[in-house]
Amino acid sequence: MNQPAQKYGETARTESRKTLVASNFEEIEAIRAIWERIQRNEPYPVPDADIDRYLSVVKASGGDTRPYVMLVEADDRAQAMIVGWIEKRQINLKLGYKTLCRPALKCLSVVYGGVLGQPEDGLCALLVSELMKQLRRPDVDMVYFNHLRTDTSFYQAVRKTPSFLTRGHFPRIEEHWIMNIPSSIDQFYQTLSAKHRSTLRRKVRMLQTKYPDEVNVVKYTQGADLEEAIKAASKVSRTTYQHALGSGLGDDSASRNVLSTAAANGWLDLSVLYVGKEPCAFQLGLRYGGRYFLQTLGFNPEWRKLSVGTVLFLRVLEDLCNDPELESFDFGFGDAPYKRRYGDRQWPEASVYIFALRPYPVFINVPRSSVEALDLGLKYVVNKMGLVRWIKRRWRQRLVRFH
């Protein structure tokens, strides 16, 4: 291993491998070149596991989050990395949209895309074993893996290695959708049915007809424009059901820090649709590694009938079509009808937990697994009855009305 990496602590050694952990900013900077090289060689590198974005998120926490980055080497060559941090994390025990309770545990969280090096079989077992050793620490009650691909050896190791009491049961598997970006917006329309194509064009015309010369989409990419961008987008976000659920885009120092890093690296793509001077919809994405990664979006429900969110989506997509460096549109976590409608390929993902073999973590795992099982069963029944979209729509309207 090169000299700078010797600065951080070795946690395990076998005849051919050694495992080291970077737990502060200085130690992480010492392995920057290794980190960047491993991630660059990933078949699908994502911004969440980029070193600069990672550092911006940890620093934005204000000290509530501590770094944890594991590096495995063999013969002084990097084989794999685990990118995570230690934080206080709430587990939402939910039935549908109804949150029953939110117990908090001390958590080692592995970021999305944070398993680097494409490990297989024996190396996967080693990585999971080393992560589980952290559960012996008093400051780690569980390990959380954010949306692992379920068709990988690492996911199988995470599911098989823990004992029954410490394994998180009933992981919720979701499809992750992406779309090849067409060469033009007209080519995109041609992929749709004639009825859907006509519907989208009618929505665009309807807004422009009702507000001629007042509809304007502003794209923010520079750090100098962040104040204006965040104020406009967060104003819209506060009106959405996502905000009522605790997500969306906030007008706070943490958001500014993360988005400032994105702007400095040339990733930021934050678009806001205005009618006159009123922001009505926003869409935040990151242009990273030849792909557009959708982060969050939203529209003011008062403008629902004029489909401002759909109009903005189409305007952003048209802009993406004109960028020859972009290959695909990544729709991000979670399922939604528009993702299935526009996406042309997908893979299965699931977030997974491993709990420490101590009374409190095991006590939390029992009701969490029970609630997950009940929720999955109820969703299966509701889906069979064809009521999913109706329930989602009514619950989202209720969240916005009472928030």
pLDDT of residue 7: 41
The per-residue pLDDT for range 266-300, each reduced to its tens digit, is 999 999 999 999 999 999 999 999 999 999 999 99
Q: Which two tokens stand for residue 172?
A: 């919720």
Domain 182-326 adopts which CATH fold?
Answer: Aminopeptidase (3.40.630)
pLDDT of residue 2: 36
% the chain with pLDDT above 70:
87
Average pLDDT over residues 378-384: 64
Average pLDDT over residues 62-83: 93
The per-residue pLDDT for range 19-31, each reduced to its tens digit, is 999 999 999 999 9
> May I ask the CATH architecture of the domain 3-173+349-398?
3-Layer(aba) Sandwich (3.40)
- Structure confidence at residue 129 as a pLDDT band (50, 70, 90): very high
Kindly report the number of other CB atoms within 10 A of residue 31's CB atom.
24
The per-residue pLDDT for range 307-347, each reduced to its tens digit, is 999 999 999 999 999 999 999 999 999 888 899 999 999 99
Please report, for residues 67, 71, 77, 256, the alpha-carbon distance to residue 56 in angstroms, rounded to integers and kept in the order given: 11, 20, 27, 10
- Structure confidence at residue 386 as a pLDDT band (50, 70, 90): low
Judged against a pLDDT cut of 80, whether residue 120 lies above it is answered with: yes
For the chain, residues classed under CATH 3.40.630.30 are 3-173+349-398, 182-326
Contacts of 347 (CB under 8 A, 6+ apart): 149, 151, 175, 176
pLDDT of residue 244: 66
Structure-model confidence comparison of residues 200 and 384, the more confident one: 200
- Structure confidence at residue 76 as a pLDDT band (50, 70, 90): confident
User: Do you know the residue count of the chain?
Assistant: 403
pLDDT of residue 382: 59
Structure-model confidence comparison of residues 399 and 179, the more confident one: 179
pLDDT of residue 5: 38
Mean pLDDT score of the chain? 89
- Structure confidence at residue 99 as a pLDDT band (50, 70, 90): confident
**3-state secondary structure at position 163:** coil
Say whether pTM exceeds 0.75. Answer: yes
The per-residue pLDDT for range 251-266, each reduced to its tens digit, is 888 899 999 999 999 9
pLDDT of residue 137: 94
Average pLDDT over residues 161-176: 93
Measured between alpha carbons, how far is 392 from 264 in angstroms, rounded to an integer? 38
Measured between alpha carbons, how far is 302 from 396 in angstroms, rounded to an integer? 14
